[in-house]
């Protein structure tokens, strides 16, 4: 049986547990709903907007964090892998985001946008 994933953005009608962090997605908030078959088992997950953005950024800077690795952010932050990513210019952004993630995004303001802007700048400079 082949693995597959379907992912779509939804607006929460009720409270969900975020798949990545120890926090909730409240009714009315946007979240990424993913479902599919993996290793022969069905799964479904709901991930909040900040965690989804953070996960995308980590996927870009860390080659061993494969794209779409769901549920791996806690371990990535816990093991302080931002120290090891080769892309040093992103190091400070990743440290900040890791700390905010650890506080369940409390106090989040423009950090995700700043990190994304920096990433786009770095990607553009590489081309």
Residues that bind Zn ion (CB under 5 A): 18, 20-21, 48, 51
Instruction: CB nearer to Zn ion: give 46 or 93.
Output: 46
Instruction: CB nearer to Zn ion: give 26 or 80.
Output: 26
Q: Report the nearest approach of Zn ion to the CB of residue 54 (Å).
A: 8
Q: Report the nearest approach of Zn ion to the CB of residue 25 (Å).
A: 7
How far apart are alpha carbons 82 and 37 in whole angstroms?
Answer: 30
Q: Report the nearest approach of Zn ion to the CB of residue 14 (Å).
A: 16
Instruction: CB nearer to Zn ion: give 18 or 100.
Output: 18
Q: Report the nearest approach of Zn ion to the CB of residue 95 (Å).
A: 18
- Tell me how long the chain is: 127
For the record, the structure tokens of 95 come out as 């440290």
Packing angle of the helix pair 49-61, 111-126 (nearest 10 deg) = 30
How far apart are alpha carbons 108 and 98 in whole angstroms?
Answer: 11
How far apart are alpha carbons 25 and 116 in whole angstroms?
Answer: 22
Q: Position of tokens 């931002």?
A: 82
Instruction: CB nearer to Zn ion: give 46 or 60.
Output: 46
């Amino acid at each position: 049986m082949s693995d597959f994933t379907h992912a779509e953005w939804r607006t929460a009608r009720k409270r969900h547990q975020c798949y990545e962090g120890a926090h909730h997605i409240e009714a009315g908030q946007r979240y990424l709903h993913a479902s599919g078959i993996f290793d022969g088992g069905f799964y479904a997950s709901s991930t909040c907007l900040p965690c989804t953005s953070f996960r995308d950024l980590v996927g870009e800077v860390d080659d061993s964090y494969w794209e779409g690795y769901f549920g791996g952010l806690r371990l990535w932050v816990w093991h302080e892998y931002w120290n090891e990513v080769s892309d040093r210019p992103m190091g400070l952004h990743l440290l900040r985001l890791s700390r905010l993630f650890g506080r369940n995004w409390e106090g989040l303001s423009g950090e995700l946008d700043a990190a994304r802007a920096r990433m786009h700048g770095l990607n553009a400079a590489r081309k």
